[in-house]
C-alpha cells in the first residue's frame, strides 16, 4: 500500500487531520487489506460489505470502533481513490449516545484530596478549565495568564486555539506548585526531559485518585470535563459561553449537558404531582 498510503496521507494532511486521526485511518485501511490479502484498491463493494458485517458479527466490535473503521474506509474510497460507488456501499452507522456521569461536589473534594501536589494540580486544572486530557497535558507555563485570569489552550480539537477561565483558587494552587516544582516549559512535564506528561499517565493519575476517593461512577479523566460543563450550567452560565469555553464547534454538543443538570430537572414537575388524588390509605 506504499503509493496509496502516501496519497492518503497527503489527502489527510491537506484537510488538516490530526496525527491521531491519520494514524487511525491508515491502520483501518491496512487491516482491511490484510483481511482479504489483497491491495485495498482491488476490493469490490461486496467484499467491503462483508468486511463491515465481519466487524459487527464475528469480531463484535463496539459501535464507536466500527464507526472509526467505516469513516476511514469511506474517506479512502471517496477521496483518495475517487470511488464514490464503493463509498456508497459502506452503510452508515449510528453511535448510541450515552449520557456521561457527573461528579458531585463531595466527590470532587475527595478526588482532589491527594498528597502528590503535581497530580492534585493536574486534576484540578482539568476540572477548573474544562479541558480535554490532550489539552491539559500540553499546557505550557506561558499559557497561564494571571493578569486576564484566563488559560490559553493551543491546538485543541480540530487544531483550534481558545481561551478558558482561570479560577482564582486554581491560580493559588498553581503558584504553590510552581514554587515547589519550578516547571520550565511544560506546565506538567513528563519523565522524559523536554516532554510533557503523557495522556496515558494523566488517565492513570485520575484512575488512582478516583479509586482512592471510592468513586464508583464509570469513566476516565473526561469525567472532569463533563462535570465542569454541568456545574457551570447549574450555576446559571449560558450555553453559548460554555460552548466557547469548552471549544465545541457545535452548540448541539453543549446542549446535551442540559440533560445532566439538577437545575433543569428541578424546574420540571411530574404530572403525577398535579393530580388530585385521595389520601393514601394504610395497607393492612
- Among 157, 162, 163, 181, the active-site one is 157
DSSP assigned state of 231 = H
157 in catalytic set: yes
What CA–CA distance (Å, rounded) separates 158 from 191?
Answer: 28
Catalytic residue status for 226: no
Cα dist. 14→6, 11, 22, 165 in Å?
Answer: 12, 5, 11, 32
Out of 5, 35, 162, 248, the active site residue is 248
Contact 280, 270 (CB under 8 A): no
User: How far is Cα 223 from Cα 103, in angstroms, rounded to an integer?
Assistant: 7
Catalytic residue among 74, 119, 120, 132: 132
Catalytic annotation present for 257: yes
Separation between Cα atoms, residue 140 and residue 151, nearest integer Å: 10
Examine the residue annotation and report whether 248 is marked as an active-site residue of this protein.
yes
SS3 153: strand
Q: At what angle do helices 2-14 and 19-36 cross, to 10 degrees?
A: 150
Question: Helix count (H) and strand count (E) of the chain?
Answer: 14, 3
The answer to whether the beta carbons of residues 164 and 150 sit under 8 Å apart is: yes
Contact of 167 with 231, CB cutoff 8 Å: no
Q: Helix, strand, coil shares of the chain as percentages rounded to 5?
A: 60, 5, 35
Q: Verify whether residue 181 is a known catalytic residue.
A: no
List 119, 120, 210, 225, catalytic entry: 225
What single DSSP character describes residue 92? Answer: -
Q: How many other C-beta atoms can be found within 10 angstroms of the C-beta atom of residue 220?
A: 14
Active site residues: 132, 157, 222, 225, 248, 257
Amino acid at each position: 500500500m506504499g503509493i496509496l498510503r502516501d496519497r492518503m496521507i497527503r489527502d489527510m494532511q491537506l484537510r488538516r487531520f490530526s496525527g491521531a486521526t491519520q494514524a487511525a485511518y491508515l491502520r483501518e485501511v491496512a487491516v482491511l487489506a490484510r483481511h482479504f490479502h489483497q491491495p485495498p484498491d482491488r476490493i469490490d463493494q461486496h467484499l467491503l460489505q462483508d468486511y463491515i458485517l465481519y466487524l459487527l458479527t464475528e469480531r463484535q466490535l463496539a459501535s464507536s470502533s466500527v464507526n472509526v473503521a467505516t469513516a476511514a474506509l469511506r474517506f479512502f474510497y471517496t477521496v483518495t481513490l475517487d470511488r464514490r460507488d464503493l463509498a456508497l456501499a459502506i452503510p452508515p452507522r449510528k453511535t448510541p449516545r450515552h449520557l456521561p456521569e457527573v461528579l458531585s461536589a463531595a466527590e470532587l473534594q475527595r478526588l482532589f484530596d491527594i498528597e502528590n501536589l503535581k497530580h492534585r494540580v493536574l486534576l484540578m486544572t482539568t476540572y477548573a478549565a474544562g479541558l480535554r486530557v490532550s489539552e491539559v497535558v500540553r499546557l505550557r507555563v506561558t499559557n497561564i495568564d494571571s493578569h486576564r485570569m484566563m488559560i490559553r489552550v493551543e491546538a485543541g480539537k480540530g487544531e483550534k486555539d481558545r481561551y478558558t477561565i482561570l479560577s482564582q483558587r486554581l491560580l493559588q494552587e498553581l503558584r504553590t506548585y510552581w514554587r515547589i516544582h519550578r516547571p520550565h516549559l511544560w506546565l506538567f512535564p513528563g519523565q522524559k526531559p523536554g516532554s510533557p506528561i503523557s495522556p496515558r499517565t494523566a488517565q492513570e493519575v485520575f484512575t488512582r485518585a478516583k479509586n482512592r476517593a471510592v468513586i464508583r461512577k464509570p469513566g476516565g479523566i473526561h469525567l472532569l470535563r463533563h462535570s465542569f460543563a454541568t456545574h457551570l450550567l447549574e450555576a446559571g452560565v449560558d450555553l453559548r459561553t460554555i460552548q466557547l469555553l469548552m471549544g465545541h464547534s457545535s452548540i448541539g454538543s453543549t446542549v446535551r449537558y442540559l440533560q445532566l443538570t439538577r437545575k433543569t430537572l428541578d424546574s420540571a414537575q411530574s404530572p403525577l404531582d398535579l393530580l388530585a388524588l385521595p389520601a393514601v390509605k394504610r395497607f393492612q
